[in-house]
Amino acid sequence: MTITIFLGSMLAAMALGVPIAFSLLLCGAALMWHLNMFDAQILAQNVINGADSFPLLAVPLFMLAGEVMNAGGLSRRIVNFAMALVGHIKGGLGYVTIVAAVIMAALSGSAVADAAALASLLMPMMVAAGHDRARSAGLIASAGIIAPVIPPSIGFVIFGVAANVSISKLFLAGIFPGILLGASLWFTWWWLVRKEVVKAPPRKSMAEIMVALKEATWALVLPFIVVFGLKFGVFTPTEAAVVAAVYALIVSTFVYRELNLKSLVPLFVAAAKTSAVVMFLVAAAMVSAWLITVADLPAQVVALLEPLLGSPKLLIVAIMILTMAVGTALDMTPTILLLTPVLMPVVKAAGIDPVYFGVLFIINNAIGLITPPVGTVLNAVAGVGKVSMDEVTRGVMPFMIAQFAIMFLMVLFPDLVMVPARWFY
C-alpha cells in the first residue's frame, strides 16, 4: 500500500502537469499523511537539509565551469584540435564530434552544455559537408551524454551524495567506461557512413596540428589536473569543482581574453538559474528519500526482489531495465534521487560493489537523456541545431542502441569497469 501511495501520488501530480520538483514534494506530503505523521515544519526542514550539503556545492561550480568554457573559447579550441587530428578521415566530422565530446566531458560534466556547444559548432559544418542532418544530430546528442560518465560528473556527485558512496572513486571508475561509450559511437558512425559520398576536409600538416595543440593546451590541461588531484588526494570532488571553475575563468579572461568582467555577468546568471533548478530538485527529492527510509520501502523492495538476490547479474539486468523505463519519462537528476535510496539496499544485500553499480546506473541515466519522449539532450540539440525532434530521434537510435550494448556488456563483464577503476584508485 505504501509503494502504491508513493508512486501513485507522484505519477498523478506529473500527469496533471505539476513540475517534477513540486510533484516530489506532493508525493512526500501524501506519504507523510498516509503514515499519520504530517508536519509542515518537518517537510520544510528536510527541504532545507536536502540542499545543505558540502559535496553538492560541486554542482553549481561545475555548471559555472561549463558555461565559462563554452563562452570563453575552450570548447571551440578543443573542436579545432580534434579537427586537426581526425578531420581528414572519411566521415571525419563525426570523429571530430566524438573526440571533442570525450575531451569536453572531462571539463564540464554537463551533458546538455556539451551537446549544445557541439551542436552550435559542428552541426552547420556537418550539414554543409553533405552528412545526413538527422544522423549528424543523433551523433552529437549521443556524444554529449558521455559528459555525465567521464569525470568531473554532476551525475556522480548527486548519486554519491544520495547513496553515500565515495564521489572520488566514482569519478575515477567512470574514466574507462566513458571512453568505451566513445568507442561505440566511433564504430557505429564508421558503419553508418562507410557508403556515404562526402568529401572530407584536407589533411592538416604537422605544423597545423601543433598550432591547434598549442591553442588547445590550456583547455587540455584541466582534465589531467582534476584526475591527478583526485587520485593523489590533493583535493576533494567539491574542491575539484572550484579548481575547474577558477581555472576556466582565468584561462578565458587572461589567457584567451575572450571574456571580460561585463560578459561574465550573464554567465554567472545562467549558471545560477540552471543550478537553482537542479538544487531545488535535489532538495525536494530528499524529502521523499527521508520518507522512503521512514516507511521502510527499501525492505519491501528487497523482499520483492529476493528471488534475484542470489544472481547479481540477473538482478543488475532487472534494475537496468527498470531504470531504462523510468528514464524515458524522467530527467536524470530526479531519476537518480528517486531510485537510489530504494535500490541501494537491494544492491548491498546482493553483495554488488556500490561503485560498480553507480557507474552502470549513471550510464543508464545518461542514455535516458536521449530517449524520447523527455530526452533533455535531444531537445537541446534540436533547438540549437535547428532540427526537428522527429529527425533527432530517428538519427539517435543506432547510437543509443550501441551505448546500451556497451552498458549491458559491462553488466556481463564487471571487470570492464572494476579493473581500470582499481588502477586509477
Distance CA 390, CA 316 (A): 32
DSSP 8-state code for residue 254? I
What sign does the dihedral 10-16-17-22 (CA atoms) show?
negative
**Percentage of residues in the chain having pLDDT higher than 90:** 20
User: What is the four-CA torsion angle of 164, 166, 170, 171, rounded to 10 degrees?
Assistant: 130
Residue listed under C-alpha cell 574507462: 176
| pLDDT tens string 62-87 | 888 888 887 888 888 888 888 888 88
Of 218, 163, 217, which is closest to residue 365 (Cα–Cα)?
163
* Type of residue numbered 278: V
Contact call for residues 148 and 111 (beta carbons, < 8 A): yes
pTM of this prediction? 0.86
C-alpha cell at 96: 571530430
Mean pLDDT of 223-237: 81
According to the per-residue pLDDT averaged within each range, which of 216-225, 242-251, 394-403 is highest? 394-403
pLDDT of residue 413: 93
Contact call for residues 394 and 142 (beta carbons, < 8 A): no
Rounded-to-5 percentages of helix, strand, coil across the chain: 80, 0, 20
* Type of residue numbered 127: V
Mean pLDDT of 158-167: 89
Mean pLDDT of 155-171: 89
Q: In terms of residues, how long is the chain?
A: 425
* Type of residue numbered 219: A
Distance CA 309, CA 61 (A): 39
Mean pLDDT of 264-278: 85
Residues 6+ apart with CB under 8 A from 159: 165, 170, 336, 340, 358, 361, 362
C-alpha cell at 106: 572531462
Mean pLDDT of 374-393: 84
pLDDT of 385 > 90? The answer is no
pLDDT of 107 > 90? The answer is no
| pLDDT tens string 11-23 | 787 777 777 778 7
pLDDT of residue 52: 73
pLDDT of residue 407: 94
pLDDT of residue 50: 67
Helix, coil or strand: residue 386: coil
pLDDT of residue 2: 64
Q: Which residue has the higher pLDDT, 240 or 307?
A: 240
Band of pLDDT at residue 1, cut at 50, 70 and 90: low
Q: Which residue has the higher pLDDT, 415 or 199?
A: 415
Contact call for residues 369 and 376 (beta carbons, < 8 A): yes
- What is the average pLDDT score of the chain? 84
pLDDT of residue 98: 93
Band of pLDDT at residue 399, cut at 50, 70 and 90: very high
